[in-house]
Structure 1
Amino acid sequence: MRTHIMDLKEGDRLKSDIFNRAGLHVLPRGTSIHKEEIALLIRQSINHVDIETREELVPVAGSTRQDFSQLLQENFEIAVKGFQSVFLEALTTGKFSQSMVEDKLQPMLEVIDQKKDVVSLLITFGQEDVNIYNHSLQVGLLSYYIASWLGYSKKECEEISKAGYLHDIGKSQVRQSIRNHEESLNEEEREEMKRHTTYGYDIIRESMTSEKIALAALQHHEREDGSGYPNELKKDDIHPYAQIVAVANTYVGLTAPKEGSPKPGLLTVLRKVYELGFGELNEKAVQALTRNLLPNFIGKRARLSSGETATIIWNNPSDYFKPLVQVGEEFRDLSVERNIVVEELFME
């Protein structure tokens, strides 16, 4: 149903992807329309959009943003606690219950299917205290999104999400003193930590029938130039599931603050992952992440390295990571002001 943007109502959902006049992706199909999305469409000079017919829309639990955030948080906590139980079971028995993984992860996947603004999800999850449990869940959820952007089927996306959720299960067999070590490890400790990949493969093979999920645990630290571990594999020998999980794991890992340093901004992290897509990480998975995250930065409030607060207005096609921003009534092109960068994004 083609509709003028001024006739849109809260809760309308886009029937197709939205692109601006320059061909840049603005909003993905399935986005639920609220005031922020309408404001974004106005800024992009988009007058009409196709929406799903209102009679066919099925109300979803937590249809308001507040309700959705609460639903998201509740399911996030359940899934994190679920992974903690899986991890402890693997620690004590060397295997885990496959049904527990599915029971705890599946409701979370159903919730995030309602949320197309992945950046808001990442900001929300980034507010959590980082530990192995919520790190693993974040990798699982981001792997799900990357797989969907790459065109995998729903069933494959769910399997890849499980691979991300379980990628670090092998750390259950690493000594706790090393696993929880916050300072630099010595050579012997680093070698033991690296063995979590082979431990993970063995645990998953004991617990599940999926060789693909086990290979993702084994290979998620392999790099396409042969610089990774445990087997120094190159591009053609790394399983596609592992390539996707490696990108998600790298992205989530880079968002965690290092001791004595401020938490890096999402745009800064995305640039680092983008650069790793030229040799180390799978280029297609990195490009899928970049292309689909960048449109979601538009309309977000941000802190600049100058200390100013701005709103991201436009992604510069010649330099994705130097957007056009608005500070007060003034528009600023960061591709021209090269000394200023976006440091942090905020939830509204």
Structure 2
Amino acid sequence: MLKVKINELKKGDVIAEHILNSEGQVLLAAGTSLTDKTIGLLKLWEIHEIRVREEKDTDDDIRLSLQFDEIVSKNSQLFDKIKKIADSDSPPVEELPTIFNKKSTQQYHDISDKFSKILFDLPQTKNIMPLTVMANIICHYAATTVGVLAYTLKREITPSMQENLANHSISVAIISAKIAKLLGHPEEVIHTIALGALLHDIGKIKLPETIFHKSDCQSAEEELQYQSHVQAGYDIIKSLGLPREANLILLQHHEYQDSSGFPLHLPAAKIHPYAQIVAFANFFDSLLHEKDTPPNFFAIRKKLTQEGATKFDTAIIDAFDHYLESFVFNVNVELNDGRTAEVVYNHPFYMSLVVRTANGEFIDLSKNKDLFIAKLVV
């Protein structure tokens, strides 16, 4: 590694260690290739010199340059501050980034119960007003709730197809609305996206319970029957006077940019941007609940960026992954050796975490290959 003054940097130089601010937050990650813009940012931040990578440097050299002790020290102080707030008798709500609490969980259950009736009555009532109200509620949650993923992570698979369909639809709508907000869409667009997401799987009410999920299909014939839920859903909603974009969301929520989706195997250019958001949210929620065991949130995050790279717009992936980075801080987890711990730092470049165990030990999971997060503790 080589120390270089800011005025001597050039495009293409690779940062050898994280650029941190005074609070230990990462401004530019190790491994970043410098551009004119990032060099300008370094000057704006009044950083006078940095370490850049040399040709002889290995990945291990870069990994060791992450100033782990400094990061742990700063995050330890922040951890202790948050713990003090959490242990106080009346913690300030705005300062405690909890994602699970009794009140919000009950609110989610109330919404689910109401939406289930709305969804299954829609083919008969043709009344979209309750759906519009529900979309407004979803938009409000996406905009104001710190732990907007709480519902998605907490929801359980039940024997009831009706209940699972309602829960999944709400979950996808919440995630979609959050992504739309992260991407900077105005309120009316977020509302349309939430509306389309709430309805994206309504065609499944026409399917036999034996093939409610794609993974349930045992033959090519069942696979075709499963795929028919897209057309069945459109037949239900096409005369309701919904925005055109909401209809397209339903029709295209299984289409992927590499043309591997269905029913039309559309290329990227022909998939509506709103439908791409909902397709990604649907993919995320399905990954979380594809098995009966508790989801390994952190392994799923890797799947989103790796397997999703060819299927979804990179802007969607990047925006949501950046949100997940901040979301995992202060989350309780269980390690594969049975110990419980709390996430206190995320290595952005390596997608690896630093955790603090119940007895106060800090563990950098990027350096300890025998340890990994087994599950999220909720």
Range class of TM-score, shorter chain = 0.7 to 0.9
Match 2:307 to one of 276, 282, 290: 276
CA drift at 1:20: 4.5
Runs of 4+ that moved beyond 6 A? 62-66
Partner of 1:188: 221
Match 2:115 to one of 83, 89, 95: 83
SS in 2 for 1:107: helix
Structure 2: any 5+ residue segments left out of the alignment?
Answer: 1-21, 30-73, 82-91
Match 2:253 to one of 220, 228, 231: 220
Deviations 1:223-262 (A, max 9, x none): 1111110000111111111100011111111111525xx2
Match 1:210 to one of 218, 224, 243: 243
Cα distance in 2, alignment partners of residues 20 and 64 from structure 1:
19
SS in 2 for 1:172: helix
The higher radius of gyration belongs to 2
Structure 1: any 5+ residue segments left out of the alignment?
Answer: 1-17, 26-38, 47-58
SS in 2 for 1:207: coil
SS in 2 for 1:23: strand
CA drift at 1:176: 4.2
Q: 1:63 to 1:158 in 2, by over 3 A?
A: farther
TM-score, normalized by length of structure 1?
0.75
CA drift at 1:83: 2.9
CA drift at 1:121: 4.5
Number of matched pairs: 297
Cα distance in 2, alignment partners of residues 175 and 267 from structure 1:
33
Cα distance in 2, alignment partners of residues 64 and 291 from structure 1:
20
Partner of 1:115: 145
Cα distance in 2, alignment partners of residues 24 and 248 from structure 1:
28
Q: 1:41 to 1:170 in 2, by over 3 A?
A: farther
Partner of 1:43: 78
Partner of 2:27: 23
CA drift at 1:82: 3.1
CA drift at 1:276: 2.5
Match 1:143 to one of 154, 159, 176: 176
SS in 1 for 2:362: strand
Cα distance in 1, alignment partners of residues 242 and 214 from structure 2:
33
Partner of 1:10: none
CA drift at 1:181: 9.3
Q: Which has the higher contact order (CA 8 A, sep 6+)?
A: 1
What is the aligned-residue identity percentage? 25
1:334 paired to 2:365 = yes
Partner of 2:207: 174
1:293 paired to 2:324 = yes
SS in 2 for 1:278: helix
Partner of 1:266: 297
Deviations 1:134-153 (A, max 9, x none): 01100001100000001101
Q: 1:179 to 1:44 in 2, by over 3 A?
A: closer
Partner of 2:50: none
Partner of 1:240: 273
SS in 2 for 1:267: helix
Output the aligned Cα RMSD. Answer: 3.3
Q: 1:24 to 1:75 in 2, by over 3 A?
A: farther
Partner of 1:106: 136
Q: 1:158 to 1:24 in 2, by over 3 A?
A: farther
Cα distance in 2, alignment partners of residues 24 and 127 from structure 1:
38
Partner of 1:50: none
Q: 1:108 to 1:226 in 2, by over 3 A?
A: closer
Q: Which amino acid aligns with 1:193?
A: Y
SS in 1 for 2:144: coil
SS in 2 for 1:221: coil
Q: Which amino acid aligns with 2:78?
A: R
